[in-house]
Amino acid sequence: IRSSCSFNDDIQGTTAVVVAGLVAAQLLTGRRLEEERVLFYRAGEEGAGIADLLAAHLATDPLNPAQVQ
């Protein structure tokens, strides 16, 4: 069985743009992302991708990774 890498724009592309926007907003406003609430309404594959990447980003911040839920 052969496998190959692929890029799913609906999941990975949307995820990258949304998380980049959240990080940019954090820098512009001076507010920290871990202090914000994020709602995923009718979260499908894109919402799951955003949640995963956002959690990974927050886990690399100087905040305690156990606080990321």
Its pTM surpasses 0.85:
no
Q: Which amino acid is at 12?
A: Q
Taking CA atoms, 14 is separated from 40, 63, 68, in Å, by: 13, 25, 21
- 3-state secondary structure at position 34: helix
Residue-wise pLDDT for 38-52, tens only, equals 888 876 888 888 889
Q: Which amino acid is at 66?
A: A
Instruction: Please state the rounded mean pLDDT for residues 16-38.
Output: 87
Is the separation of the CB atoms in 52 and 25 below 8 Å?
Answer: no
- What confidence category does residue 15 fall into, taking pLDDT thresholds of 50, 70 and 90? confident
pLDDT at position 66, please?
55
